[in-house]
């Protein structure tokens, strides 16, 4: 059985040495054999690819393979592109993760052990504690509740996963994994176990993410479960529309009963209407972004076929 690792990098030349040193130390201390690390360079312009290729040419216990993406695919697209090209046998195990330090590579041995206890099961890693601002944490906690309410999925995975080799072909054929790797994997309904790992600070201390990009990524990811998400959002839309209509009617007749009720009722109707508009806007934005990502994926696949 081989151990295959896959990650993607774009303009990460400043943190590569720290990442590779920690990864190599973890592999060595865990006594892992037959290890191959595949890194997709997502069209870096800061020397990342050259540094990786130089390290790959060096002799050492770690086999490093560099895949150069034909254009900038984004993190999820690059991971999916690498997934289609890395060499994984049916008896191997594949571990995918982010190389910026926020996924704790020191927990890889424990995740491999968990996978060994449940053969043929994926190991999905959910984020635990985070080191971002209070506003970020509150928004992420809200998103987690929204995700679980709309999808009925209890696990919220990320790029940090263990995948038995036998399931890799199915993941390669799924276009949804190009939009959101972890949610696309979850959507397939493969047998899995879940564990929680805290999110570490990025190598160097500053995160490349912000609240806007994370929110956008999460909303697009929701559309992976479009069958249930769209249905539930439309159900909520009709409920809010009914509340807005009822509030408007009640506000109109309130002066005949008690003038003091007019303002609260009209205010409630206005709030329901604004919420209704926000739901529609988020739904439309997420759907358009989701469709665009699928089109890009199909275009790239068609261009490579020719």
Domain assignment present for residue 138? The answer is: no
105 with 27, same domain: the answer is: yes
165 with 275, same domain: the answer is: no
122 with 159, same domain: the answer is: yes
169 with 268, same domain: the answer is: no
Cα 76 to Cα 138, 293, 294, distances in angstroms:
24, 10, 12
Domain assignment present for residue 46? The answer is: yes
Structural domain harbouring 287: 226-305
Nearest to 196 by CA among 147, 96, 128: 128
Strands in 122-127's sheet, in edge-to-edge order, are 63-68, 35-41, 3-9, 93-96, 157-164, 122-127, 192-197
Domain assignment present for residue 145? The answer is: no
47 with 117, same domain: the answer is: yes
Q: What is the pLDDT along the chain (306 residues), one digit of tens a residue?
A: 799 999 999 999 999 999 999 999 999 999 998 899 999 999 999 999 999 999 999 877 789 999 999 889 889 889 999 999 999 999 999 999 999 999 999 999 999 999 999 999 999 999 877 666 777 778 788 888 888 888 888 889 999 999 999 999 999 998 889 889 999 999 999 999 999 998 888 887 665 566 667 777 777 888 888 888 878 877 777 766 666 666 666 656 556 555 665 566 566 666 766 776 776 677 777 777 777 777 777 777 766 666
Domain assignment present for residue 268? The answer is: yes
Domain assignment present for residue 213? The answer is: no
Q: CATH no. for residue 197?
A: 3.90.550.60
199 with 274, same domain: the answer is: no
Is residue 123 within 8 Å of 161, Cβ to Cβ? Answer: yes
* Alpha-carbon span 235 to 232, nearest angstrom: 5
Place of tokens 């890799």: 168
Single out the residue in 170, 205, 240 at which a domain terminates: 205
Provide the whole-model pTM: 0.84
111 with 248, same domain: the answer is: no
Domain assignment present for residue 100? The answer is: yes
Is residue 181 within 8 Å of 96, Cβ to Cβ? Answer: yes
198 with 58, same domain: the answer is: yes
* Alpha-carbon span 132 to 17, nearest angstrom: 24
Task: Tell me how many domains the chain contains.
Answer: 2
Domain assignment present for residue 105? The answer is: yes
Is residue 159 within 8 Å of 129, Cβ to Cβ? Answer: no
Strand partners, 125: 195
48 with 80, same domain: the answer is: yes
DSSP one-letter code for 10: S
- In three-state secondary structure terms, 207 is coil
180 with 297, same domain: the answer is: no
Domain assignment present for residue 142? The answer is: no
105 with 236, same domain: the answer is: no
Single out the residue in 205, 238, 271 at which a domain terminates: 205
177 with 275, same domain: the answer is: no
């Amino acid at each position: 059985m081989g151990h295959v690792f896959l990650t993607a990098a774009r303009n990460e030349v400043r943190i590569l040495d720290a990442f590779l040193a920690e990864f190599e130390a973890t592999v060595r201390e865990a006594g892992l054999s037959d290890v191959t690390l595949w890194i997709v360079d997502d069209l870096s312009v800061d020397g990342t690819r050259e540094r990786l290729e130089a390290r790959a040419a060096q002799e050492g216990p770690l086999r490093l393979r560099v895949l150069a993406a034909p254009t900038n695919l984004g993190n999820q697209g690059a991971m999916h592109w690498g997934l289609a090209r890395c060499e994984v046998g049916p008896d191997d195990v594949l571990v995918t993760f982010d190389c910026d330090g926020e996924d704790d590579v020191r927990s890889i041995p424990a995740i491999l052990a968990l996978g060994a206890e449940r053969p043929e099961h994926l190991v999905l890693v959910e984020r635990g504690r985070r080191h971002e601002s209070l506003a970020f944490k509150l928004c992420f906690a809200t998103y987690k509740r929204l995700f679980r309410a709309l999808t009925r999925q209890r696990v919220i995975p990320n790029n940090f996963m263990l995948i038995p080799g036998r399931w890799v072909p199915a993941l390669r054929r799924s276009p949804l994994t190009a939009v959101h790797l972890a949610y696309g994997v979850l959507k397939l309904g493969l047998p899995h176990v879940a564990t929680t790992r805290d999110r570490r600070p990025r190598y160097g201390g500053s995160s490349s993410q912000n609240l806007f990009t994370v929110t956008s990524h999460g909303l697009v990811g929701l559309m992976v479960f479009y069958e249930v998400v769209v249905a539930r959002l439309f159900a909520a839309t009709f409920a809010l529309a009914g509340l807005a209509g009822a509030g408007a009617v009640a506000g109109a007749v309130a002066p005949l009963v008690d003038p003091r009720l007019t303002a609260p009722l009209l205010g409630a109707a206005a709030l329901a209407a604004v919420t209704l508009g926000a739901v529609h806007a988020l739904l439309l934005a997420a759907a358009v972004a989701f469709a665009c990502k699928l089109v890009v994926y199909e275009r790239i696949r068609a261009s490579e076929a020719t």
